[in-house]
Amino acid sequence: MAAAECRRVSPGDGGQEEDDRVPEYRRLEDEEGLAPGEEDEEQLLLHVTEGWGWTRGIHHPLIISLTPPHIYHFHQRNGFACVLLSDILELVQFLFVVTFSTFLLCCVDYDVLFATRPLNHSHVPERAKVTLPDAVLPAPQCARRLRGTGWLLFLLVLAGAVWLCRLVTALRRLVGYWEIRSFYIRALGIPALCNHSWQSVQARLLALQRRQPLCVPRRELTELDIHHRILRFRNYTVAMVNKSLLPVRFRLPLLGPVVFLTRGLQFNLELLLFRGPAALFQNTWSLRPQVKRAGARRALARGLARAAVLLGVANLALCPCVLGWRLLLAFFSYAEGLKRAPGSLGARRWSLYARHYLRHFNELGHELQARLSRGHAPATKYMDSFSSPLLAVLARHVGFFAGSVLAVLIVLTVYDEDVLTVQHILTAITLLGLVVTVARSFIPDEHAVWCPEQLLQRVLAHVHYLPEHWQGFHPGGAAEPPGDTPDPHLRAPPPRSRNRGFLPQLHGGGGGGGRHLLLRAAGRASPRQPPGGDRGDRGGAFRGRVCSAGVSTSLSPQWLSEGTHGGPPGAPSGAREDGAVVDALRSEQSPVAAAATCPPLPRPPAGAGDP
Amino acid sequence: MAAAECRRVSPGDGGQEEDDRVPEYRRLEDEEGLAPGEEDEEQLLLHVTEGWGWTRGIHHPLIISLTPPHIYHFHQRNGFACVLLSDILELVQFLFVVTFSTFLLCCVDYDVLFATRPLNHSHVPERAKVTLPDAVLPAPQCARRLRGTGWLLFLLVLAGAVWLCRLVTALRRLVGYWEIRSFYIRALGIPALCNHSWQSVQARLLALQRRQPLCVPRRELTELDIHHRILRFRNYTVAMVNKSLLPVRFRLPLLGPVVFLTRGLQFNLELLLFRGPAALFQNTWSLRPQVKRAGARRALARGLARAAVLLGVANLALCPCVLGWRLLLAFFSYAEGLKRAPGSLGARRWSLYARHYLRHFNELGHELQARLSRGHAPATKYMDSFSSPLLAVLARHVGFFAGSVLAVLIVLTVYDEDVLTVQHILTAITLLGLVVTVARSFIPDEHAVWCPEQLLQRVLAHVHYLPEHWQGFHPGGAAEPPGDTPDPHLRAPPPRSRNRGFLPQLHGGGGGGGRHLLLRAAGRASPRQPPGGDRGDRGGAFRGRVCSAGVSTSLSPQWLSEGTHGGPPGAPSGAREDGAVVDALRSEQSPVAAAATCPPLPRPPAGAGDP
Amino acid sequence: MAAAECRRVSPGDGGQEEDDRVPEYRRLEDEEGLAPGEEDEEQLLLHVTEGWGWTRGIHHPLIISLTPPHIYHFHQRNGFACVLLSDILELVQFLFVVTFSTFLLCCVDYDVLFATRPLNHSHVPERAKVTLPDAVLPAPQCARRLRGTGWLLFLLVLAGAVWLCRLVTALRRLVGYWEIRSFYIRALGIPALCNHSWQSVQARLLALQRRQPLCVPRRELTELDIHHRILRFRNYTVAMVNKSLLPVRFRLPLLGPVVFLTRGLQFNLELLLFRGPAALFQNTWSLRPQVKRAGARRALARGLARAAVLLGVANLALCPCVLGWRLLLAFFSYAEGLKRAPGSLGARRWSLYARHYLRHFNELGHELQARLSRGHAPATKYMDSFSSPLLAVLARHVGFFAGSVLAVLIVLTVYDEDVLTVQHILTAITLLGLVVTVARSFIPDEHAVWCPEQLLQRVLAHVHYLPEHWQGFHPGGAAEPPGDTPDPHLRAPPPRSRNRGFLPQLHGGGGGGGRHLLLRAAGRASPRQPPGGDRGDRGGAFRGRVCSAGVSTSLSPQWLSEGTHGGPPGAPSGAREDGAVVDALRSEQSPVAAAATCPPLPRPPAGAGDP
């Protein structure tokens, strides 16, 4: 994992590795015998040579962070100044939340603030004004109250420990980013990031590799290689969500099927599968060797199950603190918005599940974000165009009741401001205003235009995927019969794709590794598998995504005629499609062999959720 | 009017009735001899047969509500649950408004609320907080004050009576809707309405009629028949508005010509013409027999005039109560909106007159609503693009005056909150804020783009009708010379019409009754009749709508070449167009004969307005 | 300058003047010998003849205002009623601001308002309400305080003098506009302006000239002539901004190059160049005779420099008053908007410099306004699509800090309204709310779609000009290679131009004077000159605008083939282009001769700015 592991590969090595990639369909046993060293050659992309001088000769272990993911994240986080400022401010924010909460709990005299206890200003006899310092307890009294509450002290110590952890993490990350900044400036020649898109950074990276080969086994580095290395874990996650391997769908007693995927659950899953000590990967790139051995699978599954249970127990133990912290943060972040702009709290966002479900393989984060942003406006309109008539009737009348009381209170207040001093009048006005606002949001606009089919088409034009059970959901309104348009995506291709730079390259390559999944799921608009189906089975029940099939249908005549894919076009098999998935995930092996020998993509136990 | 009147018609009967519909141009006298029983056969569409079992054998008189209008309204009101909830909540709302107003009048001690009288809390000596219960009078005192005011007691008794009437009405309606719900579930097979458009409900209704003929004289039921039966009264109203027969246009001394058509006036007109005891209809479908006799017309007109006078007197007597109730409701509904979002009160809506003026014949309510909704956004923009420069100058300065005082008050308040306790400061701030907001709304946007021609085109694309005196209103801006485009509608057809389902049927039918007016006003862009013209004359002065003519101009080459309409295409006569109007209204007679014998469409006296 | 100077020109005179306009390329010396009388013939467009009777025989000197600029401004200000109301209200507003400020300074007892001093209401013992009149000092006390402050008295006297000046100016202007109103009503036959566009007014003016020749040397008056006369000074200003002759660009030590052009600076520049006693023009139309003599140039430049210094000194002396007045007006105008709608204060407007930079020659004010309004929405979106990531990080955290404190304060206030009476709580809430709002405005929208190229294209479609250093600013995103599209304007012509009426006339005319600059800068996409270049040189470094060159490139094949312009199309020279500029400015001379003899367009010293 150190920079020393990264060595310059001779042309001969690369050629041999290229030969390994020629598709051989019976190398199942050979794969297990793969020496670990051979794989480690691909671990790090970049080689530190003294010839550049951008590290001033210091080869400390932090050079590890110079992998493509870090280079990409450095670009996405807009350079070192932004990272530095953001890290500092987040540390300050943590301190602020803790101290401000403690201050509110211990050092404020609410009796003075709420005027329930008269203030004994002896020097001002009549109508003394209460000032803010009057309501703040003096420091010694405050410290005494703080010492009196043991649990608060414990929480403060805990928070201090967490803050120290974050400080160390931030410092380590900053040192790493400082290295990357030097790399950007000296090796890539990009002093300021603001005018460089990732495309141009990537182009310079490729040019650098061509000019002076970095620590990679291959001579020629393509955009696809970089995408693969950046999106290694992400591709796995997308595939698991795509094939419903992750335990994110539940069937609740009353609510029916729901999807539960929070950032906490995602963090736990990543810890379990990719990053933790029991994970399948030994670093950000290569699988652990024992994962590839067929005999060790049972033991691995047991280890994974044990890790999941441990992780669940840890989650359960930390649950109160995490929950309290989350509530505190949410209050501080959104409470004033509730008063200032209640409508903004009802704004829709793409859920985390949607971000995984709708992601293409090998799609970078900013590309996905741009795609989803373009689809956000029509998707919001589409969602808002549906309204429950029952709820609308209820909301109309609740709004009337609340609004009429509110109107009387407001008129009284405006007529004489002394009404405001009556206790809880302001509370009532605020709460009634909230009720009215919420009720209004459920009443559909009188002049709303109802055209969900067109909106759905516009959403699909950007989003590209449609759940299978939505097919033919709007049969009545469409001008075309729903029969001959099984896939809306077929007629609404994305108007302008951002990754023009490397898509043609993907089409052209014959037997190269790491092909885009969209080009493999050939010739079928196969239905998406129901969530309760047989997940682990790799036989024939395994299907691609609806829309990916649609795209490849329109593309297949050109590239299927090349005949490089073995099977006849008319008989696409699940195994070949499967191979495409795994191929997208693990490009270091020959694609078809991988289809048979791929690791079993273990299904974590359902208990490893976010508490 | 009972279900017993509805009997299964034998095929022979139906055939004879079909023969009656063959156009005969000289059956003027025969029409008057039409036996009442023969017409009653068409009264109810649906027949209650034991074979379905959906009424469980109970044939109570409420089965009357199972006519197409009720079936349509049941669908439009989103099913039984919505109707039930809405009815209950409206009854509760009535109770709430009455009790809350009474409470505010009798049971609140405003002296305490406005702090004009000190509260004698003996137990809390210093700075006692006023709470809400302090400001509410105790129940006995409240009841004493209530008993002391006789007019309030009278109003409460009146409100109780009205509430009981509404309760009974709602109960009757709910029982009827319960029947329709059973019909939907068992006969049509639609358990839940939420996913069924009216098109699909109608299709099932037609299929049901084909499978098992209901109580209708005809074998084959078309969409047009159903539309006719649903829109019987509405078509009459549209025709009367179209031909300026309703007394809704006045010429006020200062304001010039205005249109006055409120919901109250519409309710009175419907009571007078369609639903009341002196109405022309004996039920929702058939005219009273004496209306069809030429000799009885004078007596009928006298009766109608007498009914109108009576209705006017009743309106005048109830005026104070109705007006007070309306004001109360308006205050409770809109007062808080005035404070919260003053701009929403200035939002434009289609007036009731526009809804009648712009309605096609045989256009269902939700179709009209969809059309007007699509036209709402450009129409609002079009209206907002005009601004009086004089008013803008005035508003700019008034806004400055109010805004400067408001700014000083706000700054003082923000600097020291004690300014708020000065009497009427809050009142001043609120009122000045309102003045500023209203003034701002009159100032045109600095960056507004002025293109009224395009906006009008976009409005017309959805709205289809243009008042005749607007022709050539924007000659300067259009790129085309105004001479060769007499009708803006010609160049902007509606982009997607919702009633694709039955429009072709309308085109194709040869001599069938009930043709759409749009298809009759052939080949002429005839001017709309001025309001003061001869209304009753059916000779040649009678013209169709401007835009309808435009549409039919573009359609005429196809269907005029069929030659089924008698007159030569080049010489369209007013009488034939007239026939189309009446034809749209009364489809049970042969179209051309109806043109001569139609009931006189009596013009109500002008006194029957809404007080 | 009086009406007496305006005499009917005989056809012979006009013909001779027409002959003078035939291009002669060597009349350099002759121009200087031009008699002043010959030029004065063009001074006034309109002749007052008794035959119309619209002035009732009174020929007072105010008839001078009947020039095309006044006729145009009368139309743009929407007629006499608007002008009258606007003038009255502005005078009232001035009075209001002065008196209200004085009242706030002298007549308000802030101790009572802020409740720092108890009110000694002897008659109301307990909890007396403070009313507004309590806080206003009685008149004698107020007058005493006013007399005590000498500087305030001085300012009041000054304000009174200014107000009297404004009153006299307004009265003179109103009398002039009354004349124009009569001219509109009697000569042009337009009683009410509201339905007449300037196009139609101009057409009537031209028709009037054809019917009864006014006081112009030419028989036939074209739209271009009228535009020239209206935009005489404006064309000069546009040309000076275009060629960077005005001192509006500075290079500040920290901020880099900035553009400083305020209304005050513009007023000073106009005073210096066009309207003041040392100006180059002797009236609104003709240059002073000595300007045309080559020998007097040095003396003129000295005079201009002296005038600029004097003007600068006057500006410096008046600076405190003007600045105070501006601050007062800004506070009264915008302070309440800061509280009510803070977002509206951040709205973008076209700067004054942009209005000059983007203006075509001979483009009327309302045409420019319409063009800029159409480009405003995409320009705002374009500007908003850029955001500094560093600033966003900062704003996000500052917003969190302010928002969390604000949330706590709001929750406390809503829970118990007595918190509001604590001193400066309301101040804190307001200020924190402002901070949060401002911080929010710096955080980019999460779902913003990033497509600056398209937005820039849409801006350019209306705005027509692009600074030269912006060329190829978005090379990465555009689908086309940036090489073959040097000018975005070429591919995005303005979709609908408002001045269709006279553009073809501009194309067709052979050797007529006053050609549009856009049609002269033939066949080159020449770069815009950098600001620091040689400004006065007329040799070859002088370039047209980027976009004007673009437009003329697409237009040149048609009109260059006519061969009326001397030079071959393939060798466009800077001198000819130069001639076009001057030609647009001074149409009374032959275009090419003017290129050599034009007045030197003196560059005012940089000290004449707005203090």
Which of the four pLDDT bands, split at 50, 70 and 90, describes residue A337?
confident
Is there a contact between A448 and B418 if contact means CB atoms under 8 Å apart?
Answer: no
Residues of C in contact with A132 (CB under 8 A): 422-425
Does residue A46 come out as left (phi exceeding 0), alpha (psi in the -120 to 50 range) or beta?
beta
Question: pLDDT at position B471, please?
Answer: 62
Separation CA C394–CA C390 (nearest Å): 6
Which of the four pLDDT bands, split at 50, 70 and 90, describes residue C602?
very low
C63 has a pLDDT exceeding 80? no
Residue B102's closest CA among B138, B66, B64, B149?
Answer: B149
B88 has a pLDDT exceeding 80? yes
Which of the four pLDDT bands, split at 50, 70 and 90, describes residue B168?
very high
Write the pLDDT tens digit of every residue in A49-60: 333 434 443 333
Contact A389, B78 (CB under 8 A): yes
Which of the four pLDDT bands, split at 50, 70 and 90, describes residue C84?
very high
Mean per-residue pLDDT, B462-480: 60
CB-based contact, B408 to chain C, within 8 Å: yes
Q: Which residues contact B122 (CB under 8 A, 6 or more apart)?
A: none
Question: pLDDT at position C118, please?
Answer: 63
More confident call, B291 vs A77: A77
More confident call, B429 vs A512: B429
Is there a contact between B427 and A417 if contact means CB atoms under 8 Å apart?
Answer: yes
A122 has a pLDDT exceeding 90? no
| Averaged confidence pLDDT in chain A | 68
Q: What is the percentage of chain C residues whose pLDDT exceeds 90?
A: 19
Write the pLDDT tens digit of every residue in B560-576: 233 333 333 333 333 33
Question: pLDDT at position A215, please?
Answer: 54
Residue type at position A321: C
Question: pLDDT at position C346, please?
Answer: 74
Question: pLDDT at position A542, please?
Answer: 30
Contact A284, A574 (CB under 8 A): no
CB-based contact, B420 to chain C, within 8 Å: yes
| Averaged confidence pLDDT in chain C | 68
Write the pLDDT tens digit of every residue in B398-429: 999 999 999 999 999 888 888 888 888 889 99
Residues of B in contact with A342 (CB under 8 A): none
Separation CA B99–CA B89 (nearest Å): 15
Which of the four pLDDT bands, split at 50, 70 and 90, describes residue B299?
confident
Write the pLDDT tens digit of every residue in C346-376: 788 898 998 998 999 989 999 999 999 999 9
Residues of A in contact with B197 (CB under 8 A): 476
Question: pLDDT at position B308, please?
Answer: 92
Pick the residue of A391, A449, A454, A457 with the most B CBs within 10 A to test the interface with B by mutation: A449
B179 has a pLDDT exceeding 90? no
Only one residue has tokens 């004010």, namely C365
Which of the four pLDDT bands, split at 50, 70 and 90, describes residue B217?
low
Q: How far apart are the first and last CA of chain C?
A: 33
Contact A374, A462 (CB under 8 A): yes
A292 has a pLDDT exceeding 50? yes
More confident call, B256 vs C26: B256
Question: pLDDT at position A60, please?
Answer: 38
Residue A595 vs residues A189, A299, B150, B421: alpha-carbon distances, Å: 41, 22, 91, 78
The B residues from 29 to 48 touching A (CB cutoff 8 Å) are: none
Write the pLDDT tens digit of every residue in B33-79: 333 333 333 334 444 433 343 444 333 333 344 577 888 989 988 88
Is there a contact between A336 and C436 if contact means CB atoms under 8 Å apart?
Answer: yes
Separation CA B538–CA B243 (nearest Å): 11
- Phi and psi torsions of B398, nearest 5°: -60, -40
Question: pLDDT at position C583, please?
Answer: 44
Q: Which of A526-530, B149-153, C81-85 has the lowest mean pLDDT?
A: A526-530
3-state SS, B537-586, equals: CCCCCCCCCHHHHHHHHHHHHHHHCCCCCCCCCCCCCHHHHHHHHHHHHC
Residue type at position B304: L
Question: pLDDT at position C87, please?
Answer: 95
Write the pLDDT tens digit of every residue in C426-477: 899 999 998 998 898 888 888 888 888 888 888 888 888 877 666 655 544 3
Question: pLDDT at position B603, please?
Answer: 37
Question: pLDDT at position C559, please?
Answer: 28
Among B406, B412, B436, the residue with its CB nearest the CB of C113 is: B412
More confident call, B191 vs C50: B191
Q: What is the percentage of chain A residues whose pLDDT exceeds 90?
A: 20
Q: Which of A383-397, B382-396, C26-40 has the lowest mean pLDDT?
A: C26-40
C577 has a pLDDT exceeding 80? no
Question: pLDDT at position A118, please?
Answer: 63
Q: Which of A381-385, A387-391, B147-151, B589-593 has the lowest mean pLDDT?
A: B589-593
Residue A211 vs residues A10, A185, A188, C397: alpha-carbon distances, Å: 15, 17, 12, 43
CB-based contact, B129 to chain C, within 8 Å: yes
Q: What is the percentage of chain A residues whose pLDDT exceeds 70?
A: 62
Write the pLDDT tens digit of every residue in C336-348: 888 877 777 778 8
Is there a contact between B197 and A413 if contact means CB atoms under 8 Å apart?
Answer: no
Which of the four pLDDT bands, split at 50, 70 and 90, describes residue B9?
very low
Residue A205's closest CA among A228, A229, A222?
Answer: A222
Look at residue B256 and give its three-state secondary structure.
Answer: strand
Contact C70, C10 (CB under 8 A): no
Residue C440's closest CA among A557, B351, A333, B520?
Answer: A333
Write the pLDDT tens digit of every residue in B514-558: 222 222 222 233 333 333 333 333 333 233 333 332 232 222 222
Question: pLDDT at position A277, please?
Answer: 79
Is beta strand C256-259 parallel, antiparallel or unpaired with respect to C249-252? antiparallel
CB-based contact, A245 to chain B, within 8 Å: no
More confident call, B391 vs A8: B391
The B residues from 364 to 393 touching A (CB cutoff 8 Å) are: 370, 372-374, 376-377
Is there a contact between B113 and A422 if contact means CB atoms under 8 Å apart?
Answer: yes
Question: pLDDT at position C424, please?
Answer: 86
Is there a contact between B131 and A423 if contact means CB atoms under 8 Å apart?
Answer: yes
The residues that bridge with A108 in the sheet, in sequence order, are A136
Write the pLDDT tens digit of every residue in A446-477: 888 888 888 888 888 888 887 766 665 554 43
C381 has a pLDDT exceeding 70? yes
Mean per-residue pLDDT, C20-48: 37
Residue A605's closest CA among A249, A247, A258?
Answer: A247
A495 has a pLDDT exceeding 50? no
Structure tokens at C228: 């020239």
Is there a contact between B423 and A411 if contact means CB atoms under 8 Å apart?
Answer: no
Residue B411's closest CA among C407, A128, C104, C344?
Answer: C104
Which of the four pLDDT bands, split at 50, 70 and 90, describes residue A247?
confident
The A residues from 134 to 163 touching C (CB cutoff 8 Å) are: 134-135
Biggest CA pair distance of chain C:
99
Contact A46, A74 (CB under 8 A): no
CB-based contact, C195 to chain B, within 8 Å: no
C386 has a pLDDT exceeding 90? no
Q: Which residues contact A178 (CB under 8 A, 6 or more apart)?
A: A80
Question: pLDDT at position B120, please?
Answer: 57
Which of the four pLDDT bands, split at 50, 70 and 90, describes residue A217?
low
Question: pLDDT at position B540, please?
Answer: 31
Write the pLDDT tens digit of every residue in C206-249: 888 777 766 555 566 778 888 888 888 889 899 988 888 888 88
